[in-house]
Copies of this chain bind each other. A is one copy, B any other.
Amino acid sequence: MDKDRTITIYDVAQEARVSMATVSRVVNNKTNVKEKTRIRVVEAIEKLNYQPNLVAKSLASKKTTTIGVVVPDISNIFFANLARGIEDVAEMYDYQVMLVSSDNDLVQEEKLVVGLLNKRVDGFVFVGHEVTPEIKEVLSKYEKPFILVGSEGDEEYKVNIDIISATRKAYDTLVSGGKKKVALVTNSINYKKNSERYIEGFQKATGAKSVEGQVLEVKYKYEDGYKLAERLIDSKFDAAFVTNDEAATGILNALTDRGIKVPEDFEVMTSNNTLLTEITRPSLTTLAYSVYDLGAISMRLLTKLLNAEDVMDSVIEIPFHIKKGTSTK
């Protein structure tokens, strides 16, 4: 009898002179166990230092208590903050998180999702980007619930800010500073549905039927924003509302590096309320809301779905306000 054998529920059962079923019951906190037996079992568990094998449990119960989190890129500070919120509440509810970055590559993403599905995650939260029809199909085939956070789309479960009204407020603060020609800088290639909302808000704000020529495209990267600044200047814009902090930071720095005074000659506003907005000089005026909460709330919603709790609202809007930095007047 080798000592290093892994202790199973069966060993505990023997030690406590009960059946495996009873051990299983106390391990899972089922109520129908006599107090005296429970104690005996608990003692046996401690004596043997029993640790449950959760993969066996998963196989038998068809639940893994792990969820998949798909972000475009975990090294982007916005997504990282959001992921942290997800992680913390996952942990509170005893879920583990499998994290993957999709890089906005749809083919890649489908592969990743299938991989997670084969590991039988119980559900998903998709961060910051929509879900393709293909992925939605496989998700529904496996009957796995999923939440969209920080993005738009016609899915059932979503948590986000009200982009349209946020954009209107952003526009208002820009023009109230005396600016005339404001650009909307967004990424409609990788974040299509989100962009559509921003554009819709922008239209409503400007009162124009078409905002063509006023909507500029960026990748959500510092460098990309930096490069875009030139076009902003050439096109005689004097303000920009940017839908991502990294890009906004690039724009801001490029502007000041070229000697353009912010906010005197050009105002810039951003959207994510990350640390970056505090770091730049001038600091960035931003839509303000807790990115962390966005994640936390979406994960909480998912736990409700997984535990068949009532969910009052399948679409949750997070409140926001405008936080003044020195990049606007």
Residues of A near any B CB (own CB < 8 A): 51-56, 58-59, 64, 66, 73-77, 80-81, 83-84, 87-88, 91, 94, 96-101, 112, 114-120, 222, 246, 249, 253, 256, 275-276, 278-281, 292
CB contact under 8 A between A55 and B97, given known A74-B84, A222-B279, A281-B281: no
Q: Is the CB of B96 within 8 A of A97?
A: no
Q: Is the CB of B66 within 8 A of A74?
A: no
Q: Is the CB of A75 within 8 A of B84?
A: yes
Q: Tell me, in angstroms, the Cα distance from A119 to B84 when the chains sit together.
A: 21
Q: Is the CB of B74 within 8 A of A101?
A: no
Q: Tell me, in angstroms, the Cα distance from A73 to B81 when the chains sit together.
A: 9
Q: Is the CB of B117 within 8 A of A101?
A: no
Q: Is the CB of A119 within 8 A of B66?
A: yes
Which of B75, B117, B249 is close to A279, meaning CB atoms less than 8 Å apart? B249
How many copies of this protein are present in the complex? 2
Q: Tell me, in angstroms, the Cα distance from A88 to B103 when the chains sit together.
A: 11
Q: Is the CB of B278 within 8 A of A279?
A: no
Closest Cβ of chain B: how far from A107's Cβ, in Å? 13
Contacts of A96 in B (CB 8 A): 98, 100, 115-116, 119
Contacts of A97 in B (CB 8 A): 98-100
Q: Tell me, in angstroms, the Cα distance from A74 to B249 when the chains sit together.
A: 21
Q: Is the CB of B58 within 8 A of A55?
A: yes
Q: Is the CB of B246 within 8 A of A275?
A: yes
Main secondary structure of the interface of A (DSSP, over half): helix
Q: Is the CB of B64 within 8 A of A74?
A: no
Q: Is the CB of A222 within 8 A of B278?
A: yes
Contacts of A256 in B (CB 8 A): 281
Residue ID in chain B nearest A90 by CB atoms: B100
Closest Cβ of chain B: how far from A29's Cβ, in Å? 16
Residue ID in chain B nearest A88 by CB atoms: B101
Q: Is the CB of B118 within 8 A of A52?
A: yes
Contacts of A116 in B (CB 8 A): 96
Residue ID in chain B nearest A80 by CB atoms: B80
Contacts of A54 in B (CB 8 A): 118-120
Q: Is the CB of A75 within 8 A of B81?
A: yes
Contacts of A56 in B (CB 8 A): 59
Q: Is the CB of A74 within 8 A of B77?
A: no
Of the candidates A73, A75, A87, A120, the one having the most CB atoms from chain B within 10 angstroms of its own CB is A75
Q: Tell me, in angstroms, the Cα distance from A55 to B118 when the chains sit together.
A: 8
Q: Tell me, in angstroms, the Cα distance from A91 to B74 when the chains sit together.
A: 14
Residue ID in chain B nearest A64 by CB atoms: B55
Contacts of A76 in B (CB 8 A): 80
CB contact under 8 A between A51 and B117, given known A66-B98, A112-B91, A281-B253: yes
Residue ID in chain B nearest A292 by CB atoms: B75
Q: Is the CB of A84 within 8 A of B101?
A: yes
